[in-house]
Structure 1
């Protein structure tokens, strides 16, 4: 029997909270990127946003939710390198999506392509994480659930990119982050409902138990979150950037007159 909440529904609550926090930070960082016109400055804000949304909002949510995954009578172990690779995939595809819509002229085709690519990448992250599992039984994925999970991932990613591009008010961003967290969780658990337990393999399993990965994952997540929170708190406001630009313009004008 497959169990998705082996430790109770606490994993669902924690996964949602982590996903919402990461999504909110990503939206706040994306808003900061829109305050700048230069490509370099925008990239400097969009990349941390990708870490917030892709790393924390999506991948850490996936990892926390997987802590509740178990199969009666089976041993499950995780390949650390492939698990890390799934995290890099999540961050990379979100970064690509944000850079596509955050730099240059926005068109419907470009926006749709970014959502499609990012959503497909999020689904790839999930199934890469699943492929990292080494078990004493075979695990299969129902194609109908796979297709549904991919569709949800594309819809969630497109929504996230649109929100990152449009929202301005902080209160609205937290509400949007909750919507994004619901979508990400829906994608994950839709995919997990499609997991089917097969025959015993009889092979020896290799890798780490999910519990053994909690400490390094928690430390890394805490460090990244603290850095992102510090970045958001210390980010200059629109009025501060405007005043800074005026001051630079006056200084440049003054230096020109002295020449």
Structure 2
């Protein structure tokens, strides 16, 4: 029996919260990347923090959205190890893309390579997280919709990486993060539209959400804390929140000459 699948068990609450988390991760990542280009002496640290923020934002978006996932006549649970592994994948692939553009610049080839790798990794995170689901049925996917979700992921990742090294003004980066949040969340719900569940075991009498909600909230606690810490670092770094980035931030180390002010030590 093919079960009815819903991604809105709690109405609009989970999609809105998921979108806000995607925007938060994107905004923090953009500001950290801007900071890395303004301060090449600490480039690696800022790029790492930006990658962690974006990765945690994407992963948190995914699993907040999954709180609203329900299957009629089925109980849903998650494998903890696969769930945590999907978080590692999200951070690792974002880090790869961010470090590529952070050190190699925004040439079309670099952006295409980094965007493709990162987008495929984000899609892998999504479907790895989906593989962690346990239910009394089998989950299948519509291939064309899956391909569409991967295309959206690659496009969103490429746009995000371009924005990270191209947009430096505060309000412009905040606006870009809102657009990126739409793209990342859209990729998630496109992927979820590909899902169908065929019940193979005894049907559950009702959808029980208490244990599932508790599990996901525990899983979300760590990444949410990381995002909070990243936000505090961004807010308390004076140069990070400057709205006027008058001096063009270099896009690659070779663009910085020996007499460039960014090479001078700050006291």
TM-score scaled by length of structure 1: 0.86
Query: Is contact 1:101–1:165 with CA below 8 Å preserved after alignment?
Result: yes
After superposition, the C-alpha distances for 1:199-239 in whole angstroms (9 at most, x for unaligned) are 41469xxxx94312243234323421221012112325279
SS in 2 for 1:148: helix
Conserved in 2, the CA contact under 8 Å of 1:22 and 1:52? Answer: yes
**What is the alpha-carbon distance in structure 1 between the residues aligned to residue 141 and residue 266 of structure 2?**
60
Maintained 8 Å contact 1:90/1:121: yes
- Asked if the contact 2:34–2:168 (Cα under 8 Å) also holds between the matched residues in 1, the reply is yes
Q: Does the 8 Å CA contact 2:74/2:199 hold for their aligned counterparts?
A: no
Match of 2:228 in 1: 226
Q: C-alpha separation between the residues in 2 aligned to 1:15 and 1:2? A: 19
What is the SS of the residue equivalent to 2:10? Answer: coil
Q: How does 1:69-148 map to 2 (within 5 A)?
A: 69-148=69-148
- Do residues 2 (structure 1) and 5 (structure 2) align? yes
The alpha carbon displacement at 1:72 in A equals: 0.4
For the Cα contact (< 8 Å) 2:79–2:134, is it kept in 1?
Answer: yes
Deviation at 1:190, TM superposition (A): 0.5
SS of residue matched to 2:61: helix
Number of residue equivalences: 240
C-alpha distance in structure 1 between counterparts of 2:98 and 2:111, whole Å: 10
User: Normalising by the residue count of structure 2, what TM-score does the alignment of the two structures yield?
Assistant: 0.84
1:193 aligned partner = 193
Bigger helix fraction: 1
Q: 1:132 to 1:246 in 2, by over 3 A?
A: closer
Report which structure shows greater RCO (CA 8 Å, sep ≥6).
2
Distance 1:144 1:247 in 2: 53
Cα distance 1:243–1:74, how it changes in 2: closer, same or farther (>3 A)? Answer: closer
CA distance in 1, matches of 2:266, 2:181: 41
Whole-angstrom CA distance in 2 between matches of 1:231 and 1:161 = 21
Task: Give the aligned partner of residue 173 of structure 2.
Answer: 173
Mark the runs of 5 or more structure 1 residues left unpaired by the alignment: 249-259
**Which structure has the larger Rg over C-alpha atoms?**
1
The aligned counterpart of 2:54 is 53
2:217 maps to what in 1? 215
Unaligned runs of 5+ in 2: 204-209, 240-244, 247-260
> How large is the RMSD of aligned CA atoms in angstroms?
2.3
SS at match of 1:28: helix
